[in-house]
């Protein structure tokens, strides 16, 4: 059972004082039979009162306000968490029976939200891919693995070309992005086959493994496997989620699981910096400190897109901007 100490820093900077900052955080790891939270310390600028409650999906949510004028807001969370090995599905039930089970549960309340498709204009293309594959001739478990493989093989992992505002349509067009983009595409494909699928936010703790997504929050998908339950699938790393992933929140999509969000009164200009460091039980630290990464400049062209410019051109423009910044 590996034990991780994870520090997650979120920093907002403003060119002039802002006030009445109201914020919501989902930085509390899930607690269940495969994940034990031993301790957590959260420090927030101004030391405001932090009210904690449960949301609709049973995630712990923190809410606080910073009323006084301030030019900086730092949220610093440090957790100690132990994760356990999972038992993976076995194909003990007939394939036809598994798909029939999905048909029987599709209108049940626990699954409705996780079968609803996002507004996505390329659903016909996704359906063509599903129809051309062998997904429903194999077990649900193997269909999930095939789709996970498809996303990994057909989408490039490139940092900086998408933001939280990038739509699924844009991701599908440029065939690239980061973990949250891979997760959103896999959600679309699983739901197309009537497999309930939910978005998961958290951390990946690779240690000696070559896993993408360290140094920031990570995202993956949980798919419902008949007669088994929810199985974590990481399309960014083409793997089944095991004890190297730490879960923070679950929901329909990123909006349900955003680690930090809020509003304030004051200037519209702000700089967001986020960093994550992981220390393993053997004392090895992946990052010496929580690396702070500035994203504002990279995301600028996606936040105000020109309607006459397609996604691929915007992608190429961003690549050029990054190259110029490095010169």
Higher model confidence: residue 288 or residue 40? 40
Given its phi and psi angles, is residue 257 left (phi above 0), alpha (psi -120 to 50 degrees) or beta? Answer: alpha
In CATH terms, is domain 3-83+257-326 a member of 2.60.40.2250?
A: yes
User: Do residues 235 and 145 make contact, with C-beta atoms less than 8 angstroms apart?
Assistant: no
Instruction: Please give the average per-residue pLDDT across 92-118, as a whole number.
Output: 92
pLDDT digits (tens, 9 = 90+) for 148-192: 999 999 999 998 888 888 889 999 999 999 999 999 999 999 999
pLDDT at 209: 61
CA 272 vs CA 99, 133, 149, 241: distances in Å: 44, 42, 33, 29
Q: Write down the domain spans for the chain.
A: 3-83+257-326, 95-251
pLDDT at 186: 96
Cα–Cα distance for residue pair 203/246, rounded to 1 Å: 5
pLDDT at 208: 60
Greatest CA separation found in the chain?
63
Instruction: Please give the average per-residue pLDDT across 21-31, as a whole number.
Output: 96
**Length of the chain as a residue count:** 327
Instruction: Please give the average per-residue pLDDT across 303-311, as a whole number.
Output: 37
**pTM metric for this prediction:** 0.84
Report whether pLDDT(272) > 70: yes
On average, the pLDDT of the chain sits at 84
Given its phi and psi angles, is residue 28 left (phi above 0), alpha (psi -120 to 50 degrees) or beta? Answer: beta
CA 23 vs CA 230, 268, 291: distances in Å: 30, 16, 23
Which CATH number describes the domain made up of 95-251? 3.10.620.30
**In this predicted structure, which of 77-86, 239-248, 270-279, 318-327 has the lowest mean pLDDT?**
318-327
pLDDT at 300: 31
């Amino acid at each position: 059972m590996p034990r991780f100490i994870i520090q997650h820093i979120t920093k907002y900077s403003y060119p002039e004082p802002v006030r009445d900052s109201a914020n919501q955080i989902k930085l509390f790891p899930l607690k269940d039979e495969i994940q034990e939270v031993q301790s957590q310390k959260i420090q927030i600028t101004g030391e405001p009162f932090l009210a904690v409650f449960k949301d609709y999906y049973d995630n712990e949510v923190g809410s606080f306000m910073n009323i006084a004028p301030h030019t900086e807001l730092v949220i610093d969370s440090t957790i100690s968490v132990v994760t356990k090995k999972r038992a993976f599905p076995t194909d003990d039930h007939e394939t036809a029976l598994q798909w029939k089970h999905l048909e029987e549960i599709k209108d049940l309340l626990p699954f409705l939200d996780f079968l609803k498709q996002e507004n996505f204009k390329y659903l016909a293309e996704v359906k063509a891919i599903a129809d051309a594959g062998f997904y429903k001739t194999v077990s649900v478990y193997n269909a999930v693995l095939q789709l996970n493989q498809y996303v990994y093989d057909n989408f490039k992992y490139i940092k900086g070309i998408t933001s939280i505002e990038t739509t699924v349509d844009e991701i599908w067009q440029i065939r690239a992005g980061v973990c949250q983009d891979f997760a959103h595409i896999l959600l679309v494909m699983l739901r197309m086959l009537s497999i309930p699928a939910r978005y998961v936010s958290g951390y990946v703790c690779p240690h000696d493994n070559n896993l993408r997504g360290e140094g920031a929050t990570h995202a993956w998908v949980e798919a419902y496997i008949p007669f088994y339950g929810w199985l974590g699938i990481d399309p960014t790393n083409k793997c089944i989620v095991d004890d190297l992933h730490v879960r923070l929140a679950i929901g329909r999509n990123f909006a349900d699981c955003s680690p930090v969000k809020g509003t304030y009164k004051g200037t519209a200009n702000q700089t967001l910096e986020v960093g994550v460091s992981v220390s393993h039980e053997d004392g090895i630290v992946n990052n010496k400190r929580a690396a702070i990464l500035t994203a504002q400049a990279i995301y600028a062209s996606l936040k105000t897109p020109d309607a006459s410019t397609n996604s691929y051109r915007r992608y190429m423009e961003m690549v050029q901007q990054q190259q110029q910044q490095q010169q």
